[in-house]
Amino acid sequence: MSIVAVAHPNLALVKYWGKADTGLNLPASGSIGISLGAFSTTTRLRLEAANSGSSTWEVSINGRTQDPERFRDFFDEALKGYSGEPRHIVVASENDFPTAAGLASSASGFAALAGAVNRGLNLNLNDSDISALARRGSGSATRSVSGGFVAYPEKAASARQLHRENHWPELRCVIVQVSSGKKAVSSRKAMEASRTTSPYYPAWIEDSRKLVDQARDAIADRDLDALGPVIRRSYLRMFSTMFSADDPVMFWQEASIRVMNIAAELRKNGIAAWETMDAGPQVKIITLETQVEAVLTALEAGRSGADDWVISVSGIGSGLKVREE
């Protein structure tokens, strides 16, 4: 028998950037994200007899064997709650979107892994505990356990759902993958560079509290005119702490800036199109169902023949799902 867990990436509208505790992986800034239903990670887990007196693990992503050390914190935490016989835990994870390219594959990946391990090892964790376990792998994974609109407060161990996926059915995210390459710097390293060397980092943390409150209200009111400027402030202020770090971190590519300008032009023409970016070159544009066509048309007009952009449209997705096969 194997366990199959499916999770969607969670895109932050208000960003988490910086750790309050690097060991426990607690966030210094609160964040609010949405589940991207168009993308998923599917993770299969099976248990084999252990080769030694303690449990071990092996993980592959899209068929590639991963360094087990990357998963040590996660499995050490998971195994604290396990009292059965030692096992060799075999995990195979598949993403239907680019891995480690700034599309939150670690969010859906660790959420799915936490769900699979919980079921496979009979840990009996509730959603909040699964979210806290996912956090040991990646901060944004904490938000990927729930569907809909999810808040992850500063210094909190787990995230919680603000609204279900049907709260704002018209909301859409147009994802522009300008590059399928892996990111050069991990978000873990980049946020540590911001925290330890940017003079703007304390201001970022202070300011992000306001942004969390403003976004929460705008989402409750389903008001994109109010939410949009908050989305923009959050990602640009997050990147300001990277540009001002020693050494500076630059995830943007020339094409990312072109997509930002396309969104700005759309707004000038009365279309609600608010872009955001994460630790990678991809640009995600938050808009409404009625305006998706205008956004896609502007992107087609603005791309050059040399651009091999992959454009997807997502609504708001559900939370983690786990089944046995």
List residues binding ligand PMV (CB under 6 A).
12, 15-17, 31, 104, 106-107, 138-140, 187, 278-279
- Cα dihedral angle (125, 128, 132, 134), rounded to 10 degrees? 80
Of residues 69 and 85, the one with the C-beta less far from ligand PMV: 69
Of residues 146 and 187, the one with the C-beta less far from ligand PMV: 187
Burial of 298 (0-12, 13-18, 19+ CB in 10 A): buried
| Smallest separation, CB 135 to ligand PMV (Å) | 9
| Smallest separation, CB 142 to ligand PMV (Å) | 8
- DSSP readout, 107-148? HHHHHHHHHHHHHHTT----HHHHHHHHHTT-GGGGGGGS-S
- Taking alpha carbons only, the member of 292, 142, 162 closest to residue 222 is 162
Single-letter amino acid code for the residue at 56: T
| Smallest separation, CB 49 to ligand PMV (Å) | 33
| Smallest separation, CB 226 to ligand PMV (Å) | 20
| Smallest separation, CB 106 to ligand PMV (Å) | 5
| Smallest separation, CB 101 to ligand PMV (Å) | 12
**Cα 240 from Cα 256, distance rounded (Å):** 16
Of residues 107 and 212, the one with the C-beta less far from ligand PMV: 107
- Taking alpha carbons only, the member of 6, 316, 322 closest to residue 161 is 316
Of residues 75 and 291, the one with the C-beta less far from ligand PMV: 75
Of residues 57 and 235, the one with the C-beta less far from ligand PMV: 235
Of residues 3 and 218, the one with the C-beta less far from ligand PMV: 218
SS3 (DSSP) at 161: strand
Inter-residue contact 143 to 36 (CB < 8 Å): no
